[in-house]
Amino acid sequence: MRALVLLFFAAALGAQTRIETGEIDGAQFRIDIPQNWNHGLVMYCHGYSAEPSHFDEKPAKDVFSGFLATGYAVAQSGYSSGGWAVQDAVQNTEALRRYFVAKYGPVKFTFVTGHSMGGLLTMLVMERFPATYHGGLALCGPLTDMPSFLLDAFNVRVVFDFYFPGILPPPDNVPPDFRNSKQLVRHVADTLKQKPTEAEILRRYTRLHSLDDIAGDLTLFTELMGDLRRRTGGNPFDNRNVVYTIDGDSNALNRRIKRYAADPVAAAYLAAWYSPTGKLDAPMLAIHTTYDPIVPSNAPDTYATRAREAGNPGLFVQQYVEHDGHCAIKPEEIASGFSELLRWVETGSAPAFGLVPANSSSIR
C-alpha cells in the first residue's frame, strides 16, 4: 500500500511541478520546481552512461519525490559527454547551478546528491566547492580512490582473461566501437557456464553472488576501460606488482597472468578524477545496499578514515539498506535519508550510523 501511495503522490506532484529543459555548454539539463518551492535546491548527478543523458518533460521520476515533496527544486545535467565523464560532469553541474541561481534567484539551501558515479560526484563537488553546498547525499557511490577501485575491476578482467582467453578485447586496448549490451552480457555468462570449475574460481575471487553478476561487471568495466583510454590516451592501470590469490593454483596464475604497465599521464588523470581528500565543510550522508555487484558495499568504508584524517570525522555518516543490487535504494529510503540530512544541517546532530530509518520526517 505504501508504494502505491508514493506512486500516486509522485504523479500528483508532477502535475504541480514547473519543468524546464534546455542545454548549457553542450549538456542538456532539466529543472523541476515544485509549487511549494522553499527556495532550496538539490543538484542531482546521474551515474555512468555510455552516452550523454537527454531529458523530456514527463513527470519527475519517483527517486526525486522526496526532494520535491519537501519543497526543494531539483536540477540535473545530462553532461556534455558520456562514459567516465567525471571532469565534464563537475563543470556541467556547476554551470547549471549558476544558471539556476541567475534565473530563479538566490537559493537558501543547496544540496547535492547522485547515484553510483553520481555518488562519487556528490563527494567530489562537496570537496571542491565547500562554500556552495550545505550537505550531500551520496547514493551507492564509490567514495574511494578511483585508481584503486578501478584497478580491482581491471584485475578481475585479467583473471577472467587467464581462464577465458579471447572472449573480450584486451583491457588496455578496447576498440572504439566496443559497447556493453544485454546480448554481450548473456554471451559472457554462457561462456562462464561452459567451464564451471574456472567460473567458480572467478566467482570466489570476485565474491559476487552469480555468474550473471560477474558477466555484467566484466562487460561494463571493459566499456569503461575503453572510454578511459580514449580520454587519457593510454592505459591507467598497472598490475605488475599485484600478487593474485585464488581458490586454486595461485602460483600458476601469478606466473602466467598477463602484466600491464600504466601510462603515467593516464594514471594521473584517473587520480585527479578522482581521489578523495576527506575535506568537508558540510555534512555528507552515504547510503548503500548491503550487496552491490558493481560498487561493493564496503567501497565507501575508507571515506570515514579520510574524513577523520582531514580533521572532520563528524561530517560523514554511512547508512545502509537491506537490499541486493546496484543502487537498489527505494524512493522512500532516499526520502528518509534526505530528511535525516536536513535535520543534521538544521540541528547539527548527526544521524545514527547503520540501517536507514523506516520512517523519518523533515523538520524543515
Q: What's the pLDDT tens digit per position in 299-318?
A: 999 999 999 999 988 999 99
Q: Is residue 363 part of a domain?
A: no
Q: What's the pLDDT tens digit per position in 15-61?
A: 589 999 999 999 999 999 999 999 999 999 999 999 999 999 999 99
C-alpha cell at 219: 562487460
User: Does residue 228 have a pLDDT over 60?
Assistant: yes
> 55 with 14, same domain?
yes
In this prediction the pTM is 0.93
Residue that finishes a domain, picked among 219, 250, 271: 271
> 8 with 134, same domain?
yes
What is the pLDDT confidence band of residue 360, given thresholds at 50, 70 and 90? low
Q: Using an 8 Å Cβ cutoff, are 266 and 229 in contact?
A: yes
State the average pLDDT over residues 319-345: 97
Q: What's the pLDDT tens digit per position in 108-117?
A: 999 999 999 9
Q: Is residue 306 part of a domain?
A: yes
> 267 with 281, same domain?
no
> 127 with 199, same domain?
no
What is the pLDDT confidence band of residue 9, given thresholds at 50, 70 and 90? very low
Range of the domain at 63: 2-144+276-355
Q: Using an 8 Å Cβ cutoff, are 262 and 238 in contact?
A: yes
> 118 with 173, same domain?
no
- Long-range contacts made by residues 203-212, C-beta under 8 angstroms, separation at least 24? 204/246, 204/247, 205/156, 205/159, 205/244, 205/246, 205/247, 206/156, 208/293, 209/291, 209/293, 209/324, 212/185
> 140 with 6, same domain?
yes
> 343 with 241, same domain?
no
Residue that finishes a domain, picked among 236, 271, 306: 271
H helical segments located in the chain = 2-15, 65-69, 86-104, 117-128, 146-163, 182-194, 196-206, 211-232, 250-256, 264-272, 301-309, 331-347
> 23 with 72, same domain?
yes
Q: Is residue 335 part of a domain?
A: yes
Please report the DSSP string for 42-108 in residue order: EEEE---BSS------SPPPGGGHHHHHTTEEEEEE--SS-BS-HHHHHHHHHHHHHHHHHHH---S
Residue that finishes a domain, picked among 271, 304, 338: 271
> 263 with 280, same domain?
no
Q: Is residue 60 part of a domain?
A: yes
> 303 with 332, same domain?
yes
Return mean pLDDT, the chain. Answer: 94
Q: What's the pLDDT tens digit per position in 238-277?
A: 999 999 999 999 999 999 999 999 999 999 999 999 999 9
- C-alpha separations of 147 from 128, 170, 223, 268, 337 in Å: 19, 19, 16, 9, 29
Distance CA 179, CA 42 (A): 32
Distance CA 278, CA 125 (A): 12
Q: Is residue 362 part of a domain?
A: no
Q: Is residue 364 part of a domain?
A: no
Q: What's the pLDDT tens digit per position in 180-220?
A: 999 999 999 999 999 999 999 999 999 999 999 999 999 99
Domain count, the chain: 2
What is the pLDDT confidence band of residue 8, given thresholds at 50, 70 and 90? very low
Residue 358: the pLDDT is: 78
Residue 16: the pLDDT is: 82
Share of the chain above pLDDT 70, in %: 94
> 64 with 131, same domain?
yes
C-alpha cell at 76: 540535473
Q: Is residue 360 part of a domain?
A: no
User: Does residue 12 have a pLDDT over 90?
Assistant: no
- Enter the DSSP assignment of 291: E
Q: Is residue 361 part of a domain?
A: no
Q: What's the pLDDT tens digit per position in 55-74?
A: 999 999 999 999 999 999 99
Q: CATH number, domain at 294?
A: 3.40.50.1820
> 31 with 127, same domain?
yes
